[in-house]
Amino acid sequence: MKKQKKEKHFIQKPRYEGGMESIRKLISENLIYPKEAAEQNIEGVVLVKFTINHKGKVIEAKALRKLGYGCDEEAVRLVKLLKFIIPKNKGLKVLFHKDLNIHFALNQANTNKQAPAIQYQYTKTQKSEESKKDSGSYSYIINV
């Protein structure tokens, strides 16, 4: 009778579906370059240390290497969007700690991508003799 091979590690580590490429894609699609950082031409890397719970959710994140000007908060927000796949670890509820570098670079794609803005405008029309009510129209401008 052959012996079964033991797993290399007792505790299996979490993984992100699609790997690092998917993490990079999620970050690039959701990154909103902070206005203050763009005005000051701030570029660099924020190192974020985060904790993943037994359900694969990021429960705690903290910027270790900071840039300031809102970049640290944005990096923490992006990390909290991640959802990991946790393998069964023999019924143990294990917390995992990971580090991730978030790169902030000024380029055309990042500077144009800011938080969506909605503006509205009300235009009042002249009161006609037939209609005794004031009337007007609204215009909505959505910048995405």
Question: Is residue 24's pLDDT more than 70?
Answer: yes
Residue 54 gets the label, from left (phi > 0), alpha (psi -120 to 50) or beta, of alpha
- CATH number of domain containing 53: 3.30.2420.10
- Domain membership of residue 140 (yes or no) is no
117 contacts: CB under 8 Å, gap ≥ 6: 142, 143
- Domain membership of residue 33 (yes or no) is yes
The count of domains in the chain is 1
- Domain membership of residue 96 (yes or no) is yes
| CA dist., res. 120 & res. 53, Å (int) | 43
| CA dist., res. 106 & res. 112, Å (int) | 10
- Domain membership of residue 134 (yes or no) is no
Range of the domain at 69: 19-115
For range 95-115, the mean pLDDT? 74
Q: Give residue 74's pLDDT.
A: 95
Question: Is residue 110's pLDDT more than 60?
Answer: no
pLDDT tens digits, one per residue of 25-73: 999 999 999 999 999 999 999 999 999 999 999 999 999 999 989 999 9
Question: Is residue 108's pLDDT more than 60?
Answer: no
- Domain membership of residue 137 (yes or no) is no
- Domain membership of residue 101 (yes or no) is yes
- Domain membership of residue 9 (yes or no) is no
| CA dist., res. 110 & res. 108, Å (int) | 6
CB atoms within 10 A of CB 41: 8
- Domain membership of residue 74 (yes or no) is yes
